[in-house]
A = this chain, B = another copy of it.
Amino acid sequence: MRALVRPYIGVIGPDPCDEVVGERCERIGRLLAEAGAVLVCGGLGGSMERAARGAFEAGGFTLGILPGTTRAEGNPYLTLSVPTGMGEMRNALNVRASDAVIAVAGEYGTLSEIAFALKTGVPVVGLGTWVLSKEARAGPDAIARVSTPEEAVASALRLAGYS
């Protein structure tokens, strides 16, 4: 008996988050669970907790990668958690643990995860999130833009090679 090969999809976004973002993250979590994916997140509150809750309550696996040294800081919807003691540097581990990430809104922490994902070749799906351009030129960035949680999950699974 061997472990199933599952897609690992990161959901990244703000903490705290408003209710619109929270509902989107919770729905993304639920859809990921229904698709058999593992939900990866930073393990704390706001969008992380809402995404984990959506997935966990739908029977999915959730993995929280925490900044501090104790799992007591994690939200209550994590199947498994990993305290790292690395502070915000753990954002890079969230990305390394994901086959694709979905960015929902977000502040600078989310931006750091988007950038690290793009740098290391992890596909990024964006739902109302950062827009990246350069002073020297404009044009579409490398984020796959979507408008709904359903599109976000479908896009992330496809980009992760599962569809």
Does B89 contact A85, Cβ atoms closer than 8 Å?
yes
Closest Cβ of chain B to A71, distance in Å, is 8
A49-95 interface with B by 8 A CB criterion: 56-57, 61-63, 65, 69, 71, 76-89, 91-93
Q: A3-B78, A56-B1, A83-B97 are in contact. Are A115 and B108 (CB under 8 A)?
A: yes
The 8 closest A-B pairs by CB, nearest first: A112-B115, A108-B119, A111-B115, A2-B76, A108-B118, A89-B92, A85-B87, A112-B116
CA distance A76 to B76 in the complex (A): 28
Does A111 contact B132, Cβ atoms closer than 8 Å?
yes
Does B92 contact A69, Cβ atoms closer than 8 Å?
no
Q: A63-B82, A120-B69 are in contact. Are A130 and B132 (CB under 8 A)?
A: yes
Q: A85-B87, A116-B88, A130-B133 are in contact. Are A96 and B69 (CB under 8 A)?
A: yes
B-side contacts of A107, CB under 8 Å = 119
Q: Is A46 engaged at the interface, CB distance under 8 Å to the other chain?
A: no
Q: A82-B65, A111-B118 are in contact. Are A57 and B96 (CB under 8 A)?
A: no
Does A97 contact B119, Cβ atoms closer than 8 Å?
no
Does A77 contact B2, Cβ atoms closer than 8 Å?
yes
Closest Cβ of chain B to A69, distance in Å, is 6
Beyond the given pairs A85-B92, A86-B89, 20 more chain A to chain B contacts, judged by CB atoms under 8 angstroms and listed by A's residue number, are A3-B77, A3-B78, A61-B80, A82-B96, A83-B97, A84-B93, A86-B86, A88-B116, A88-B119, A108-B118, A109-B115, A112-B116, A112-B119, A126-B135, A128-B136, A130-B134, A131-B132, A131-B133, A131-B134, A132-B132
